[in-house]
A and B are shown apart, each in its own frame.
Chain A
């Protein structure tokens, strides 16, 4: 039996040995990855800009990577998986700074593209498209517009910073049981009808908003502080702005367009839905009817407290599967100027600072333009609709079993009315976005009218844009 002193003595002598042990261990964990090498033909795809790392998505991507290696274009693919979007963006920046960036980012949403398009992070693929005779018309028009970044490259340019990899249209999902209980007719599944307007939707939502005593906002004594069911939830008020004809940026004049009547009207309409009409639940109000920490809207919807929500095809897994009541989808209502809904788009891009662009292009071509590969990757790999015209309709067949009572065709019919403008780049994109909360939170919370805040926002944001033009140039200049 060692006495304490002896034990300590021995430990002291062993400690230096123990301390050197990790050096040996770490040496065994060494990785022979060297900088990108043309002859070895390895292309690295960074996955983590949003989606792509879920346990069920990974095998799909791996299979396609194996198929590429076997197809004999002369190279192989490996994946750099970062399971967190912000960290993936950070790592991309660090790797570029270190001179050792991944070859591609796939998938990345448009927002991820917009973050860095003016920092020359993405490589223009239009040259490769032309050389290989790939017809951009293979893809749905709306997705092409997004990949072309017209505000940066110009409206007539055919530059492409990414190949469409998956698209998500938006529809209105509604709780059939709540509609039935209130005796309100269900919204139309057909897009672009005349009667289904914003005002009409407001009426419907009002009949479906109830306080704890069952009163709607139209009834006397309605208690706005005690709402137990909302007519609308999970909303992006930005869509209303477009419905009224507003848009954030005018490329001709190089000015932001926040301070226009259309923008103002749209923003105010959306804010009023929350604060004046009390039919729309923002995150805070949703948290009041259902206890959900990460996504209170999801909690409120799955608990049956929201009659209508904006549903992206990307929400099918969460909002769709989580709903334990009868539900269906309908078209978006039309604003005074346009009937429009968001389009979310994922693309695959080549990192300009990487080497071996030729190999990267072969990989993207294989995975995103060959119809079967592309469809498999979109639908099973990312849970998206395929952006290829030939495949986009198959979305319905692929998913109908999982959502038996739901009219998935509405998602497909949405295409002519869908636009990706909400994620479109404009100068000083990040700064202007980051300062919006400061000016517009008050509007959304009903503490100030849009007419009062928008001029201030416009002024501060325009300064940022002007400053951007002092130090940057658009490629078309």
Chain B
């Protein structure tokens, strides 16, 4: 069937370029492979996993830090993203330019972006505290404080909410306008139009964003590397940052591989959970009304 031919590029790519390295890293996770002294590698079985989960306090610490960050940023992104998408579909003039503005954060290079955020989060003269001051709230120490460093990263992630909003927007575009007209005729106000029509029909978008955001946020690395290096006092030591240290600073590649597969297991479990629950709340067909 030609349908299977359509899958073949992906299949070739998966087997050839993706599966191989994944299996290799799985194998490495059962060894004590050192990146620069590979000749001395020996098999250690599940020792890396055991040691990571029972002997290394930084593993659990970084998981806690990462979960805290991920929960906050995913929730915010889901909600704010949808609101933004509704705004960006409003059809006013100049909407094209505005949409492009919201996309800009995804386009700015990582180096420049992280620096810009450091500037904003400066305790004294930074814009974040200035904005708080405008509402009469005292400023905080942001990335220099163990309490506020994670909220700072959450705000940084919110800067890029455009990406999630555009996914919502793509879904929103598929909802027929006449559904709303019919509902208005029936006397439904804007709020009930939203909850009865928009919300159910945008659930495929919520599903996508929820899964992708979860997978993505749990793996936050670059921003932490540039902005806080895991500090202060390990308050922003994200899981992948700790993994990177083990892999490319201490060269403990076997151990780092085990850490990676532990994260994999966690994310797989979470994703399957979400998928399992999806028939309960995601609507697919019936998105189109026909005469």
Residue ranges of A at the interface with B (Cβ–Cβ < 8 Å): 86, 89-90, 93-94, 96-97, 115-116, 119-121, 283-284, 287-291, 293-294, 296, 353, 430-431, 434, 437-438, 441-442
Contacts and interface: CB of A to CB of B under 8 A. Distances in A.
B24 to A, nearest CB: 12
Nearest to B111: A84
Contact of B37 (A120, A290, A430): A120
B124 interface: yes
B151 interface: no
A394 to B, nearest CB: 36
16 contacts: A96-B36, A119-B251, A121-B36, A284-B141, A287-B123, A288-B122, A288-B123, A288-B125, A293-B115, A293-B118, A294-B115, A296-B122, A430-B249, A431-B250, A437-B231, A438-B233
B38 interface: yes
A119 B33 CA distance: 13
B245 interface: yes
B122 A442 contact: no
A353 B232 contact: no
Given A116-B36, A430-B249, A441 B231 contact: yes
Contacts of A293: 115-116, 118-119, 122
A225 B86 CA distance: 45
A430 B250 CA distance: 7
Contacts of B36: 93, 96-97, 116, 119-121, 353
Contact of A441 (B122, B123, B232, B248): B232
B126 A97 contact: no
B144 A284 contact: yes
A287 B144 CA distance: 11
B35 A97 contact: yes
Contacts of B203: none
B122 A119 contact: no
B126 A291 contact: yes
Contacts of A284: 123, 141, 144
Given A89-B248, A119-B36, A434-B249, 6 more contacts: A86-B248, A93-B251, A115-B249, A291-B125, A296-B122, A437-B232
Contact of A93 (B125, B233, B248): B248
B34 interface: yes
A453 B145 CA distance: 19
B234 interface: yes
Contacts of B119: 291, 293
B253 to A, nearest CB: 8
A329 B157 CA distance: 44
B225 interface: yes
Please name the 5 residue pairs, one residue from A and one from B, whose CB atoms are nearest each other, closest first: A288-B124, A293-B119, A293-B118, A291-B125, A90-B248
A437 B144 contact: no
Nearest to A19: B9
Given A287-B123, A293-B122, A96 B35 contact: yes
Nearest to A87: B248
Contacts of B124: 287-289, 291
Contacts of A441: 231-233
A267 B163 CA distance: 47
A121 B251 CA distance: 12
Interface of A is mostly: helix
Contacts of B115: 293-294
A289 B126 CA distance: 11
Contact of B245 (A93, A120, A294, A434): A434
Nearest to A91: B248
A199 B71 CA distance: 50
A289 B119 CA distance: 13
Interface string B105-124: 00000000001101100111
A288 B116 CA distance: 17
B231 to A, nearest CB: 6
Interface in B201-251: 225, 231-234, 245, 248-251
Highest count of chain B CB atoms <10 Å: which of A94, A121, A434, A441: A434
A437 B233 contact: yes
Contacts of A294: 115, 118
Contacts of A90: 248
Contacts of A283: 144
A96 B115 CA distance: 32
A243 B4 CA distance: 73
B225 A86 contact: yes
A71 to B, nearest CB: 32
A86 B9 CA distance: 35
B187 to A, nearest CB: 39
Contacts of B126: 287, 291
Contacts of B35: 93-94, 96-97
Given A289-B124, A437-B231, A97 B225 contact: no
B109 to A, nearest CB: 12
B54 to A, nearest CB: 16
A103 to B, nearest CB: 15
A122 to B, nearest CB: 11
A437 B251 contact: no
Contacts of A353: 36
Contacts of B233: 437-438, 441-442
B13 to A, nearest CB: 12
A437 B36 CA distance: 27
Interface in B12-68: 34-38
Contacts of B34: 119
Contacts of B245: 434
Contacts of A430: 249-250
Highest count of chain B CB atoms <10 Å: which of A93, A96, A120, A442: A93
A97 B38 contact: yes
B122 A291 contact: yes
B258 to A, nearest CB: 17
A93 B245 CA distance: 13
Contacts of B248: 86, 89-90, 93
Interface string B245-274: 100111101000000000000000000000
Interface in B78-112: none
A121 B249 CA distance: 13
A49 to B, nearest CB: 14
A278 B37 CA distance: 48
A99 to B, nearest CB: 9
A89 B251 CA distance: 11
